[in-house]
Amino acid sequence: MTARYQNYVSGEWTDSETNETFESTDPAAPAEVVAEYPDSSVADANAAVEAAAEAQDDWADTPAPERGAILREAASILADRKAELTELLTREEGKTHAEAGGEVQRAVDIFYYYAEKTRDLGGSVKSASGPRTNLYTVDEPVGVVSLVTPWNYPIAIPAWKLAPALATGNTVAMKPAKVAPGVAVELFEALDEAGLPEGVANVVTGPGSTVGDALVTHEDVDAVSFTGSGKVGHMVYDSATDDGKRVQTELGGKNPTVVSDSADVEEAAEIVAAGAFGVTGQACTACSRAIVHTDVYDEFVDAVVAEAESIEIGPGDEYDMGPQVTESELEGTLDYIGIAEDEGATLETGGGQPDGERFGDGYYVEPTVFSDVENDFRIAQEEVFGPVLAVIEVEDFEDGLETANDVDYGLSASIVTDDHTEAERFVDEVEAGVAKINAKTTGLELHVPFGGFKQSSSETWREQGDAGIDFYTIEKTVYDSF
């Protein structure tokens, strides 16, 4: 039976004023409808913002630990429902059960984390220059925030925006991506069951061109947090900043792993493959470039090809790698594979859609490895967002570092090396917001900042950890000479 979801506005579950709907389908079996959602309008988005604005003062005045108690209860509800949320995420987005379960658990952990952070919210006390003066700061919520979130981490990214926003006393209007909105809407179900006051958090489903734009441009919105494509992100940033709103954007990546001549090649291949082919390559932090020292290049290519060919593809409930999320994403990946071949890269493995009964009409593509890639090839410069790895040969560490930085993006980067000096230089000089040593480019801790350099981010505010709190608060300095 097809699930049916509604918008959540001012504490009520409601259909769109258009009475129109759209459907999500299973990327492993596109003929199967998973759920139905309101195809909302500007009026629906405006209602969500207006509800948030009306609720803002009372929520800001609510003691922070009391706000934390609601987040904690919501986390408990999500934990109790982990199995069904995992299934929903797999059916809408295509992740394997292991990947989907890990993402749901991350959302649970994020809500617990920010629930505890509410106990420490406040400001700081400073020493005044004169007598009989108390000098201190207080942190206040920014106000009404709009959240626009993507499909590739459909519960984790909404959670890491929503939880700190609510913890710090802001009210929220959110639009999840149309492709896989179910688990994001379920976050609001959990908050509703946990006792969140009406209007504090609102979610509206529908197209970015109407709902998303209205949430970004509404005059009552004080801050905007967006994760998605670079093209849309730049438009969001320009529109929000023109209106004087606080804004953060997290966009794409073209993430390298540098493989040193001192590296254990088998270990390096495992690390690169995990970063390149995990979650079907549909992560902004996925490794799409392996930059390999010439002395170990041939050995590495053989090893990473073996890793790719060992991956079993199929529906997420029992295989290693699931489908791409939509037909258009699959077509985009296949287009880039054709472009790479036209540019002169050597296709080592993969490059097409797998054959077999279990694949049906699903949006599957084989894990793909290209060698003989030059760093000016499009396959080495543009985000593919699929399980495609470009292997680039370099003469030495200096060449590798220069190649790693020679892109417009700067989100995540890693190095595999046994040379500590190389590792230290890599951390110091790589142009990326996340730098890893002997680890895959994907995978983030929730209590440390996350964000990119260059075209990967607005470079304004980081997400997660204390940085997540910083974006949603503004400092007031108090001179008390009473």
Residue 266: how many other CB atoms lie within 10 Å? 14
- The closest of 147, 163, 76, 158 to 113, measured between CA atoms, is 163
State the pairing for strand pair 473-480/223-227.
unpaired
287 given a catalytic annotation: no
| From 177, 276, 284, 469, the catalytic residue | 284
* DSSP H or E stretch at residue 458: none
Contact 225, 256 (CB under 8 A): no
Catalogue the long-range contacts made by 237-246 (C-beta closer than 8 Å, 24 or more residues apart): 237/458, 239/213, 240/216, 243/217, 243/219, 245/216, 245/221, 246/142, 246/222, 246/460, 246/461, 246/471
Q: Give, as one character, the DSSP assignment of residue 457.
A: B
Residue appearing with tokens 């494509």? 229
Would you call 9 exposed, middle or buried from its count of C-beta atoms within 10 A (0-12, 13-18, 19+)?
buried
Residue type, 359: F
Integer Cα distance of 61 and 169 in angstroms: 8
Which DSSP category does 312 fall into?
A: P
Question: What angle do the packed helices 182-193 and 156-167 form, to 10 degrees?
Answer: 30
- Lookup: tokens for 4: 């049916």
Structure tokens at 358: 């279990």
Q: Where are the beta strands (DSSP E) in 176-262?
A: 201-203, 223-227, 246-250, 255-259
Give dist(CA 290, CA 311) in Å, integer.
Answer: 18
**Catalytic site positions:** 284
